[in-house]
Amino acid sequence: MEDSQNSAPGSLQATKLAGARKGPDGQNAAKRLQTELMQLMTSPAPGVSAFPSADGNLLSWRATIDGPDDTPYSGLTFKLSFEFPSNYPYAPPTVLFITPIYHPNVDFSGRICLDILKDKWTAAYNIQTVLLSLQSLLGEPNNASPLNGEAAELWDKDPSQFKAKVMDRHKDIDED
Amino acid sequence: MSAAVASQWPQRRRRVFQSVFHTDDSQPTPHSTPCIRFPDQGQPFGGPAAPIRHQHARRAHAHAPLDAADPSPALSPTLTSSLSTIDARSQLAQPLFPSLATAADDQVVFDRAWHVVTARIALPASATADDSFGTLPPDSQLPHQAYTSDVDFYDALALIVQAPALLPRATHTEDVVAWHAQQARSHFAQHVVPLLSGCLDDQGDEPGAENRGRYRGTGRRGDYYERHMVIVMSSIRTLEAALRLYFYGFGMLVRGFHKLAVANGPGKPLVVDPELIATRFRRDIHALVGNSASPELMRSVSIVLVRLTGTILGIPSGDDSNDIGSVRSSQRLAPPTDDDLNAIATRQRLHELVEQLHNVGLAGERFQILFAEIMDSMMSDFVTGAYAGVWSASDTQSFSAATAMNTISRTAGASFTSPCILSLGDWVENHFSRLSLEVLSRVSPGAASPVKLSDVKTYQSLALGRLAALRISELFDIVLAWPSSRGALDDLRATITTTARRLQLTASFSHTLQTRLLHPGYSTLKILRTYIAIIRTLHALDHSKVLLGHVESSLQLYLCQREDAVRIVVTGLLASAEELRVARKYNETAKKPMERRSQAGHTGTGNRGGPEPGPFVTPAVGGGYRETPGTRKRRDSTPEAGPGDAEKAARDLSSTKLIELSLILNDPLQSRRASPEDEDLDWNDMTWVPDPVDASANYKRPKSEDVIGTLISALGSEDVFIKEFASVLADRLLTDPANFDQELRVLDLLKRRFGEPALQNCDVMIKDVRDSRKVDTLIRRKRKDRHEGKSPATPGTMDQALSAQGAKEMEYHARILSRLFWPNLDREHFLLPTPIVEEQKRYESGYQGLKSGRKLTWLNQLGQARVELELRDRSVTVDCTTVEATVIYAFQDPDAEDGNSSVRRSVDELYAQLQMDEDMIAAALTFWVAKGILRHVQHDVYAVAETLAAAANADSSSAANAGSSGSAAGQQPGAAMSTAEDKEDGGEPPRKTAGGKPAGASAKEQERRAMYWQYICGMLTNASATMPLGQMAMMMKMLISDGFPWSNEELQEFLGEKIADGELEVVGGKYRLPRK
């Protein structure tokens, strides 16, 4: 009952608000995310994938990035979590590495320093672009503003030791 | 003065005396009984008249001297047996009397007086049959003067009554009135009650009768009422006799009091007020009778009352006719007319009965409750019996009112009173209230007016409430019978006045919907049709649409589960003009019998006149609803109503298409709502009424019925609707190019509802088709110019030898579609006939000349062709799809120009030649076989049926007649491919019409499966590494915006395939991706 009450008038309301639907509406966020999911599924980008978490909450996603070749992360797989605000896409999602990663722009709790996830965010970005940006960040860290100073130093000075640290830190996590 | 003093004085003296001598009442008194005449047992004790008189006389002179020591007659312990209790008490008490002689003297005087009185009015001890009551008491109490003992009696009575004054020392005195009441009570209990139960037993209720209830019974029911009448009457007689007995004695007492009052003179205050005690006694006895009436007796009374009131009020109680069903269904309940002798007699009988009941005291509280209950059920019975199923207004004015109703949308009030309500009010006022008044005034004669005018109003509102309840319970059937049921809606509108009733209506209606409409037995079309009726009905009932809003949520929820609902609505909206015309004509013819019917129903002879009209009440559980809504039903049952092809066609139409929608769309009344929807309050609107109290917070008063709008918004998300609309529109634009006014109108409607941007695609589609026409003419003109410049005579350089045979140039048109805006158009590959390909090339070049830099992609399967086939004995022109045209073209064999045998091809040959999907080939071949052009020769081999005889043969024997008919070779399918429209880029709309779709559908299915697999991979990669089937299905359903149509089983099957391919693993009931 409650659902039908909400769904049918909801669509009507949306019609009335046509053009001016910018309000922080969880429904719009969910709708947008559903559309993004459809895009991700119909035209997947290589090396990245994402999906809503198993609890059925559309505002919470899990993503996977394969480490790019020709980088220290080659052959590794990284899991990330996306938490979307209810006014997404007008505010960026909160993205964290779940898999421990040794990277100049990622701290030890998985937080990422990436401008498009902060002040450079626009509604034109989507999950796929974020994932691709993160994938390229793996190969080209921004050493000017590191979260992990040691890594930033090693990246330039000692790639082999960097690689060793990366392999040391990396650990496949399994939900099982 | 003297009397008051006289009465006080001895008391004071006595008090003084007692204070000195310490005597008290507990002291024994000598039990001297110097009675002269001792009566025998059972003999009235009339003896001691003289001593009493003497005593009385003496006392009159000398005021009770203290030392007077007369031996006074004592009470005899052996009076009549009925006095035994009192006697026992007296005897028991006597030893306790004061021993003083004077006290004893007074006491003795009192006792003797007491004896005289009680003996006179004692009740008979008879326990014999009830006739003893009838004879024993004197018929007239007047000639009491004749009895010599009367004088004694009254003297004694005066003594007893004035005992405190006259016999101050008689300490043990009794109230004779109370004694008599007590007597009567015990007598009643001992003798009358057994007699009453005897009355019941005599009439012998068979044990089954109680269970059978009032209205039911077997053949003996006829005398059922009579039997109970006898019970009641005999009980009344018994009681009357008993009461006569009681009141005889009491009457004597009262008379004594009166005499006393007269003797004492007007100045003296009376010891007892005879009137007062008379009413008190009467009340006591009536209470006694009323309370001791057995339930069986009251049941009999109620049966008799039901019968009598029923007859008076015009409600047959059912036991006067053996087959209730026929009577009930064949005639409406109606109050009896004024000259109905039966009713008058019954009324008379009831009056008598009530009076009798009142006289014997049976008309007490219990009777009144009983009567109230009976009247209550009578009202319900009458409302049900008289108005159930009577929905139509009395005359045809309701139909004109129906249209007028739409215009006066806001002024929905009680101003228009329906005939049902009028007649019901009349019934309540002139029959119900009258009867109540008559009965109640007889029951309580004292009251001023038992039924006041305000009571009548209350009765009327009660009756309206019953009517409302009835209509609410019928509402679903009313909806089905729309619009002939408008009268019922008038009833409802006038009676649904409170919020509680509105609530009751919505609750009851929602429940009915659940049980009778929203189940799998009902087709989506029928549900939608009913929904339309609901919208219109409830709108007529309540213009604010609040009721509708309360009701339709469950319906909407259910419709969302029906996947075909949207398509039905869209196709209904887009119904063609031809279909409309048929439907309208059909409605015209259908209306006449409908009106006839409605009137018949009102006069009470229609087949839906009964309180439970069969067709509407079938709950349709399990078997599914048998018919479409009411109008259709009636139509079917009246075969005389123009049984033409038109009707048949319309019926077919209405069983497949929601044609009503497009009728509504074209209705001028509906299109009047074009005024801006969300304007502010119109301050000049004099008919403004406030919003209903049960409206929700965001309530906005709708302006009109708006069936289509409501329906569309009911179908859930607009995206789904628009998508469906786009695909249907694409379909129609490609097939029916003549004009698309209807489409445009619907599009406008949808634009108003959903906004322009949402329907941009559809706009583009229509624009494409229009532009294509221009481009088409442009290209053709250009080409013509060129041709005329080059070689004006012949149809050009192309080898049009085949089509040029008819010296007719092949027309070729194309439609250019913008790929992005059309619903997915699929490209189906096959080879067109060479001339067509040539045409395409020319067209393409022409187009590129027109719009440089653009390229055409041909969608060959989406076109139409007109094919002219010249066979040996006939020529045939067929409109078909391009696929079918291509296939038949392949049967043209220039080499067989003069051959004897008809051309034959096998499916494999065709496949090689055309590179067409085999399914499409098969479908096209079937098409041509059905047209009689081809015949099935062998397995997968088809031949041209050159003659009609061959075609006929082909039907009977397919394999045997190979070559039998082949004689001439003039097989010339002059395949003049005209109007083959092809497309620029695209996919395929989900059409269900022509051949060539199976392959397309399967391609689409493949695509969909691939997408689902992506979802599953993404899910298992990211959401959770392992998942059970149910959770996966749930996630898919939730996440795929277009919906996930697979059942769990289908998904499991799909996953099973993937497991077989090694792309998936299942471990412990959970699926996971294999590790790399």
Residue A52 has its nearest CB partner, among B557, B1021, B1023, at B1023
The region of weakest confidence among B40-44, B697-701, B1052-1056 is B40-44
pLDDT, one tens digit per residue, over B86-106 is: 444 444 444 444 455 566 677
Distance, in Å, from the CA atom of B944 to the CA atom of B958, rounded to the nearest integer, reads: 12
Of B499, B457, B466, B278, nearest in space to B388 by CA: B466
Task: Give how far A94 is from chain B: nearest CA, Å.
Answer: 17
Nearest Cα neighbor of B549 from B495, B510, B511 is B510
What's residue A95's pLDDT? Answer: 93
Q: How many CB atoms are closer than 10 A to CB B110?
A: 24
B151 part of contact set with chain A, CB < 8 Å: no
Alpha-carbon distance B127 to B328, whole Å? 49
Considering A98-107, B443-452, B595-604, B797-806, the range whose residues carry the highest mean pLDDT is A98-107
Are the beta carbons of B557 and A38 separated by less than 8 Å?
Answer: no
Cis previous bond, A89, omega within 30:
yes
Nearest to B1025 among A44, A58, A175 (CB): A175
Contact B1023/A at CB under 8 A: yes
pLDDT at B666: 64
pLDDT mean across residues, chain B? 67
B1027 touches chain A (CB under 8 A): yes
CA distance A127 to chain B (A): 13
**Chain A neighbors of B1035, CB-CB under 8 A:** 52, 54, 56
Q: Does the interface ipTM go beyond 0.85?
A: no
| Minimum CA–CA partner of B698 in chain A | A9
Provide the token pair at B443.
Answer: 């029951």
Q: What global pTM score does this model have?
A: 0.54
Of A3, A40, A62, the CB nearest to B1023: A62
- Distance from the Cα of A150 to chain B's closest Cα (Å) equals 30
Contact B512, B619 (CB under 8 A): no
Residue of B883, B845, B843 whose CA lies nearest to B867: B883
Handedness of CA B999, B1005, B1009, B1011 (dihedral sign): positive
- CB proximity A2 to B under 8 Å: no
HEC assignment per residue over B706-749: CHHHHHHHHCCCHHHHHHHHHHHHHHHHHHCCCCCHHHHHHHHH
For the beta carbon of residue A11, count every other beta carbon within 10 angstroms.
19
> To 10 degrees, the CA torsion angle through A20, A25, A31, A35?
70
Q: How would you label B637-668 residue by residue, b for 16+ Cβ within 10 Å and e otherwise?
A: ebeebbeeebbebbbebbeebbbbbbbbbeee
| CA distances from residue B427 to B391, B433, B533, B684 in whole angstroms, order as listed | 18, 8, 32, 42
Q: Are the beta carbons of A37 and B1014 separated by less than 8 Å?
A: no
* pLDDT value, residue A93: 92
pLDDT of B1021 = 85
Least confident of B3-7, B517-521, B758-762, B909-913: B3-7
Report CB contact under 8 Å: B1023, A16. no
CB atoms within 10 A of CB B182: 15
For chain B positions 534-573, those within 8 Å of chain A (CB to CB) are 553-554, 556-557, 560
- Tell me which chain A residues have a C-beta less than 8 angstroms from the C-beta of B1028: none
Under a CB-based contact definition with an 8 Å cutoff, are residues B1017 and A168 in contact?
A: no
* Nearest CB partner across the interface for B713, out of A8, A44, A63: A8
Task: List pLDDT tens digits, range B147-195.
Answer: 556 677 777 777 777 767 776 666 677 777 778 888 888 888 888 888 8
A50 interfacial to chain B (CB closer than 8 Å) = yes
Average pLDDT rounded to a whole number, residues B927-946 = 80
pLDDT per position as a tens digit, B218-227: 444 456 778 8
Of the candidates A68, A64, A59, the residue with the CA atom closest to the CA atom of residue A88: A59
Find all residues with CB under 8 Å of B684, minimum gap 6, and list them: none
Closest residue in chain A to residue B717, using alpha carbons only: A11
Residues of B in contact with A12 (CB under 8 A): 713
Lowest mean pLDDT segment, chosen from A142-156, B110-124, B572-586: B572-586
Provide the angle, in degrees to the nearest 10, between the axes of the packed helices B224-264 and B193-203. Answer: 160
Query: pLDDT band for position B801 (50/70/90)?
Result: very low
For an interface test with A, give the residue of B1014, B1027, B1071 to mutate (most A CBs within 10 A).
B1014
Buried b (16+ CB within 10 A) or exposed e, B373-386: ebbeebbbbbbbbb
On the question of pLDDT at B56 being above 80, the answer is: no
- Which residues of chain A have a CB within 8 Å of the CB of B713? 8, 11-12
How many CB atoms are located within 10 Å of the residue A2 CB? 7
What residues of chain B lie within 8 A of the CB of A58, using their CB?
1038-1039
In chain B, which residues have their Cβ closer than 8 Å to the Cβ of A96?
Answer: none
pLDDT band at B682 (very low <50, low <70, confident <90, very high): low
Q: Which of residues 232-271 of B touch A (CB under 8 A)?
A: none
In this complex, which of A4, A15, A53 lies closest to B1023 when CB atoms are compared?
A53
CB of B1038 less than 8 A from some CB of A: yes
Q: Is A64 helix (H, G, I), strand (E, B) or coil?
A: strand
Inter-chain CB proximity A174 and B716 less than 8 Å: no
For residue B940, what pLDDT band results from cuts at 50, 70 and 90?
confident
Report the distance separating Cα B961 and Cα B901, nearest Å. 12
Residue of B109, B88, B107, B112 whose CA lies nearest to B28: B107
Q: Which of residues 748-787 of B touch A (CB under 8 A)?
A: 753-755, 757-758
Nearest to B312 by CA among B214, B464, B432: B432
Burial class (CB in 10 A: 0-12, 13-18, 19+), B411: middle
| pLDDT value of residue A82 | 92
The residue count for chain A: 176
* Residues B31 and B25: beta-carbon distance below 8 Å: no
Taking a C-beta distance cutoff of 8 angstroms, is the pair B153, B256 a contact? yes
Q: pLDDT grade, residue B416 (50/70/90)? A: low
- Residue in A with minimal Cα distance to B554: A1
A10: closest chain B residue by CA:
B717
Chain B environment of A57 (Cβ under 8 Å): none
| Facing residue for A1 by CB, picked from B553, B755, B757 | B553
pLDDT score, position B251: 81
Which of B15 and B204 is assigned the larger pLDDT? B15
Tens of pLDDT, residues B36-50: 444 444 444 444 444
Cβ pair B941, B925 in contact under 8 A? no
Rounded distance between C-alpha atoms, residue B401 and residue B1026, angstroms = 66
The answer to whether B883 and B997 are in contact (CB under 8 A) is: no
Q: Establish whether A113 is a catalytic residue.
A: yes
B455-472: average pLDDT: 85
Residues of chain A with C-beta less than 8 angstroms from the C-beta of B1026: 175-176
> Do residue A11 and residue B717 have CB atoms under 8 angstroms apart?
yes
pLDDT at B333: 67
Q: Which class for B18: exposed (0-12), middle (13-18), buried (19 or more C-beta within 10 A)?
A: middle
Residue B595 carries which side chain, given as an amino acid letter? Answer: E
pLDDT of residue B984: 36
Sheet of strand B1026-1028: strand arrangement: B1026-1028, B1070-1072, B1065-1067
- Out of A9, A37, A49, the one facing B1021 most closely (by C-beta) is A49
What percentage of chain B reaches a pLDDT higher than 90? 0
Q: How far is A153 from chain B (nearest CA, A)?
A: 32
A144 φ/ψ angles, rounded to the nearest 5 degrees: -70, -30
Report CB contact under 8 Å: B1022, A61. yes
Q: Does B716 touch chain A (CB under 8 A)?
A: yes
B698 touching A (Cβ < 8 Å): yes
For residue B134, give the 3-state DSSP assignment: helix
Q: Which of B104-113, B384-393, B680-689, B816-825 has the lowest mean pLDDT?
A: B680-689
For chains A and B, count residue pairs whose Cβ atoms are closer than 8 Å: 97
How much is the pLDDT for B896? Answer: 52
Candidate from A1, A51, A56 with C-beta closest to B1021: A51
Give me the residues of chain A with pLDDT under 50, please. Answer: 1-24, 176
Cβ count within 10 A of residue A142: 14
Q: Do B757 and A14 touch (CB under 8 A)?
A: no
Which tens digits make up the pLDDT trace of B343-356? Answer: 888 888 888 888 88
Cβ contact B1014–A41 (<8 Å): yes
Q: CB of A43 within 8 Å of any CB in chain B?
A: no
Q: Catalytic residue among A40, A113, A117, A134, which?
A: A113
Q: If residue B327 lies in a helix (H) or strand (E), which one and from where to where?
A: helix B324-330
Q: How many angstroms separate the Cα of B559 from the Cα of each of A11, B556, B626, B746?
A: 16, 5, 20, 21
Nearest to B1018 among A19, A31, A40 (CB): A40
Q: B136: how many CB neighbours lie within 10 A of its CB?
A: 15
Query: Contact, B510 vs B475, CB < 8 A?
Result: no
B557, B722, B1039, best to mutate vs chain A, most A CBs in 10 Å = B1039
What are residue B267's phi and psi, to 5 degrees?
-75, -25
A46 touches chain B (CB under 8 A): no
- How far apart CA B372 and CA B364 sit, in angstroms, is 12
Task: Mark yes or no for CB contact A38/B1041 under 8 Å.
Answer: yes
B975/B802 Cα distance (integer angstroms): 8
